Amino acid sequence: DVKVTQSSRYLVKRTGEKVFLECVQDMDHENMFWYRQDPGLGLRLIYFSYDVKMKEKGDIPEGYSVSREKKERFSLILESASTNQTSMYLCASSPLKRAGVGRYNEQFFGPGTRLTVL
Amino acid sequence: RKEVEQDPGPFNVPEGATVAFNCTYSNSASQSFFWYRQDCRKEPKLLMSVYSSGNEDGRFTAQLNRASQYISLLIRDSKLSDSATYLCVVPTGNQFYFGTGTSLTVIP
């Protein structure tokens, strides 16, 4: 059974603080993703990674950075938290693409971290 | 145009009803499609994968219409426990594109 865990369920930080959100998966998945979810906007991709030390920007990378030093761990960093980064942050992982052109495996999500920046 | 679009609803249906949601996608080359279920303040969980014309799992049926570029989710004999938000997901290139979700409430 795939398990994706996130370091905190709820987090409250102050404007300007550096924030670390940790995500760990135990199924040896190559791909890992960070999303934020806001009402009316759905899930938006911040960053993703297909391998250790590899990262790609998603749709909204500004104000965020990531780190993937080990295959099972993908960290999201808010360099200087701002109030507009108050959101639900979801981490996901998935195996490599299936065989066959255009075939993808599904993503497995962690429980989410609800971050409030005051 | 958004990659994936869904009717946000809300859909309020009585127990036992049949309800269908549509999801349109913009990339005609897409070949994988997913429906996720998300309960309030929880993470999305996979409901169904679609790799060909459709898929069926108990009361849930997903159908793909490639010509019109939409995928539908049909729920038969709705239960109170089906109340949730249903997310349509279409991977394209290196990304998974999510719809904003369709809210369903099943009423006793």
Q: Provide the residue-wise pLDDT of chain A in tens; the chain has 118 residues.
A: 669 999 999 999 999 999 999 999 998 999 999 999 998 888 999 999 988 989 999 999 999 999 999 999 999 999 999 999 999 999 999 987 665 555 778 899 999 999 999 9
What pLDDT is stored for residue B72 in this prediction? 95
Nearest CB among A42, A48, A103 relative to B98 is that of A42
Nearest CB among A33, A42, A110 relative to B43 is that of A110
Mean pLDDT of B81-106: 92
CB proximity A102 to B under 8 Å: yes
Pair A109, A35: CB distance under 8 Å: no
What pLDDT is stored for residue A2 in this prediction? 65
Distance CA B28, CA B105 (A): 32
What pLDDT is stored for residue A102 in this prediction? 59
DSSP per position, A27-88: S--SEEEEEEEETTTEEEEEEEESSTT--EE-S--TTEEEEEEETTEEEEEESS--GGG-EE
